[in-house]
Amino acid sequence: MTANSVELSRSGGSVVTGTTTEGCDSAANHEVAVKASSFGLFNVLVIAIMLPASLSSVFSTTSMSYVFPIAQCDLNLTVDDKGLLNSVTYFGMLSSGFLSGFLTDTLGRKKLMIYAFIFDGFVVIMCAFSKSFTYLTIVKFFEGFIENGGFAAVIAYTSEFNSAKFRPFIPLFNGIFVNSGAVVLPLMAWIIFTDSINISTFGGFIVLRSWNLFILATAIPSLMAGFLYILLPESPKFLMTVGKNDEALKTFNKMYKCNNGSTKGEYPIKALVDEPKLQGNEKLGHVTSQRSNIQALKEGFRQIAAIFYRPNCINLIMVVIIQFGLLMGNNTLRLWLPQLFAAINDRSEVAKKEGFDLCRTLQTLIPNSTRSNGTCSVNYNNSEVYANNAICGAVAIVILLLSLPMVRLLGKKIVLCGSALGSGLCLIIIAYYGNHITVTLTLSSIHIGFNYVAFNTLLSSIVDLFPTTLRAMAVASAMAFGRFGSSVGNIIFPALLGIGCLYPFLTIGGIILVSAFLAMLLPDSDMKALK
């Protein structure tokens, strides 16, 4: 690829031709520079390292759903305790959302990812030594607090290594990786959970049962992601934004050599635009070239004001409301599915005689919420439960894979609206026609798959809608509000279940439909260069 073969693109409204941006001599902007480096092995490696990062996120939020049926006697859990434990990780994520995005946009993507994932791994290890509900709740809150920053940075970081042609697929790959975790987790539970493990040390001060070892195993992806990101360079887009063009050029050169080998000569771009000069206005915030960390923080506080200017403020309000509804729908049903399938498994003999009844099965999830001093038993024969959850994850992966060509064919906005609409309708249909285990499993799988397509397509739009100085902050804020929706959903689910089995599905399905209609108002962002 030569410098002149780079196709036309746009940079913030100025037309980019070849390697030049009008008004910027012969210097290339980010879109032109990343296209000139081509797509190849380097990009694949950056996307592949998203796998442990994505697994870390899904393990953090979902592991408790598999622990509940096994640990409920050890921890003396009520249904309200389970709802709180499902929610508390999201409350931690909510509390750190804006802060983590701010630090990522001011100090860099790489630093925050490394610290966040490594610290998260150690917090999960602490969680594995839980002996009480209170300790577990506190540690899960801090796990969510740390995890949120790493996830938001990963989406922005990986997207900035790719051109507008490939960027829409980055969040969708994240969705595929997350649902790989939804397949891996039940398999891990099937292998690890047993009644034969009871390790006691230090005179009973530390007691490890199979569910403790299960939580310990979920720390592996976080630690792996943290150490792998040490090997990768900082985002070239972030480096350009803070005026470190020499470092950005070195990164583009590495990408070019890794993607093309030595067969195509040297990287054709020799100079990059001075973005701090181009973006030195009140709407984007002033950025000083080669700034120190202290100076970055000071300028970062001034850049926050840019979020209150149009169109940033309007776009942010819309995406956080949409994300609230989508993640409420996704994570409420997804986190209660293991409990639902466990209840179905426990009632299997009754179902053979009387037939499957969704409402009766759901009622078994809401016993008297006072703690029982009577006999507590755990059913370890849950292979069918794990199989059903793995099926849901596998179906979601298939739906996400099918969505990849649809994004290119129809555009992000149509895919976002259509998949959100399908997700909401599936929940409403479950409420009325879920009295067959196959129907419930099928509709739950399709709902989760469609919801992940909508959620990750929205993330792709956020990356394109906001400038580099606000991008991670926008992603983190949207994720924080989405996780707030997850927290609310997991708290109201048992409450609505107590009123009637239809209400959880109708309420949450209706909220997703509202998100689908709001998504129609978002601006198109297909094939736009990063600002």
Q: Note the pLDDT tens digit of each residue in 333-353.
A: 877 777 777 666 666 555 555
Residue 42: half-sphere exposure toward Cβ, Cα within 13 Å: 23
The answer regarding whether domain 27-279 maps to CATH 1.10.3720.10 reads no
pLDDT at 263: 63
Is 302-365+380-530 the same fold as 27-279? yes
| Regions in the chain scoring below 70 on pLDDT | 1-25, 97, 202-205, 262-264, 278-309, 342-376, 379, 434-435, 468-469, 472, 525-531
Architecture of domain 302-365+380-530: Up-down Bundle (1.20)
Of residues 61, 128, 74, the one with CA closest to residue 338: 61
Task: Give the burial class of 184: count Cβ atoms within 10 A of its Cβ; 0-12 exposed, 13-18 middle, 19 or more buried.
Answer: middle
The amino acid present at 266, given as its one-letter code, is E
Which residues are within 8 A (CB) of 408 and not within 5 positions of it... i.e. 6 or more apart? 168
pLDDT at 73: 81
pLDDT at 355: 58
Domain positions in the chain are 27-279, 302-365+380-530
pTM: predicted TM-score of the whole model, two decimal places: 0.73
pLDDT at 307: 65
CA torsion 350-352-353-358 (nearest 10°) is: 60
